[in-house]
Amino acid sequence: MTLESITGTFAANTQFKEQINGYTGDIDTVTNLNVDEAFLKIARFNLQNTLTNFTGKLATTTTTRDSAYQNFTDNGETFLDARKFILGDDQETSGLSGAKSADFQLSMSNSNNNRHSPAVDIDRMGVITSEFFINNDETNEDNANGGSAQTKYISKTVTLEDGLDAEDLRVLVTAYVPSVSSIAVYGKFLNSADEATIDDRPWQELSRTTVSTVVSSDEDKSDFRELEFNLPASVLTGASDEYQYTSESITYTGYKYFRLKFVLLTSNEAKSPVLRDYRAIALQK
């Protein structure tokens, strides 16, 4: 159902009634459109020496919006500094005193020829928004299953060739990691003599050996960096620093099977990390 020309307000756990046929409905929740990235699409025609410039304001909360107009990319992605919102009509009325939560302006200029003017097709304009589903909580990610992180990638199980069982691991990650974000890498390992399955094994967090000062630019999302992760010294307990684990009172040295998990985290959804590729190198001591 699409509602137009709304004059009232809506709240969760209430009902509404359609006036023509008397149909009723329940409102379970009232949500906002979360905006972490915007793509402004406007059909425009710029003649020689003419220019169009786009600026906009978005809601920063349900009761506030940007204090000044910000530049938006001309028919391209605009990366926001923080999550913004597009509200419903009733929330704009109650929270913004009727001001629009998505307010865009287009300025047109002519540098030296008053016979030339840019043109805009108002029937072919709109904005595409992206919301990033990510949080900053990796609680219980070391359990065999579950974990609190919203964004993660789990690889398939890798089986090493016979006779090539490994005792250490090196992982190289190419990623965009702005200053407020991070990527955690976990591994599951199973020895060939262990009768359990790799699904039963807990995740072991790897240590980041790349210094913490290596971060990507907050403004340049093409600034990918290479990060290195290794097994921590706490599990390299063999006689020659091999990987070991104990299960059912049996200590196993080395592994034949492994699986990786990459957990993406950020304290600012609009500045989320991006994982481009990774390489895992199983090592023998």
Domain end point (choices 75, 100, 130): 130
Q: Indicate whether 275 pLDDT > 80.
A: yes
Q: Which amino acid is at 199?
A: D
Q: Indicate whether 9 pLDDT > 90.
A: no
Q: Indicate whether 2 pLDDT > 80.
A: no
126 and 167 housed in the same domain: no
| Boundaries of domain holding 55 | 14-130
266 and 227 housed in the same domain: yes
- At 57-109, the pLDDT tens digits run 999 999 999 999 999 988 889 999 999 999 988 788 889 998 999 999 989 88
Establish if 210 belongs to a structural domain.
yes
Q: Indicate whether 3 pLDDT > 70.
A: no
Domain end point (choices 96, 130, 164): 130
267 and 165 housed in the same domain: yes
Establish if 181 belongs to a structural domain.
yes
Q: How confident is the model at residue 203 (pLDDT cuts 50, 70, 90)?
A: very high
Q: Which pLDDT does position 17 carry in this prediction? A: 81
Q: Which pLDDT does position 237 carry in this prediction? A: 97
Helix, coil or strand: residue 90: helix
176 and 68 housed in the same domain: no
Cβ atoms within 10 Å, residue 88: 19
122 and 189 housed in the same domain: no
Q: Which pLDDT does position 206 carry in this prediction? A: 98
- At 217-238, the pLDDT tens digits run 998 999 999 999 999 999 999 9
120 and 170 housed in the same domain: no
Q: Which pLDDT does position 225 carry in this prediction? A: 97
Instruction: Tell me the whole-structure pTM to 2 decimals.
Output: 0.85
Q: What is the dihedral of CA 141, 261, 225, 182, to 10 degrees?
A: -10
Helix, coil or strand: residue 246: strand
Q: How confident is the model at residue 214 (pLDDT cuts 50, 70, 90)?
A: very high
Query: How many Cα atoms are found within 13 Å in the side-chain-facing hemisphere of 169?
Result: 30
Q: What is the mean pLDDT of residues 195-204?
A: 96
126 and 184 housed in the same domain: no
115 and 178 housed in the same domain: no
Element (H, E) at 89: helix 89-95
Q: Which pLDDT does position 199 carry in this prediction? A: 96
Q: Which pLDDT does position 32 carry in this prediction? A: 85
Establish if 7 belongs to a structural domain.
no
Task: Please state, rounded to an integer, the average pLDDT across all residues of the chain.
Answer: 92
126 and 189 housed in the same domain: no
Establish if 260 belongs to a structural domain.
yes
Q: Which pLDDT does position 4 carry in this prediction? A: 65
Domain with residue 235: its CATH number is 2.60.120
102 and 31 housed in the same domain: yes
What's the number of domains the chain is made of? Answer: 2
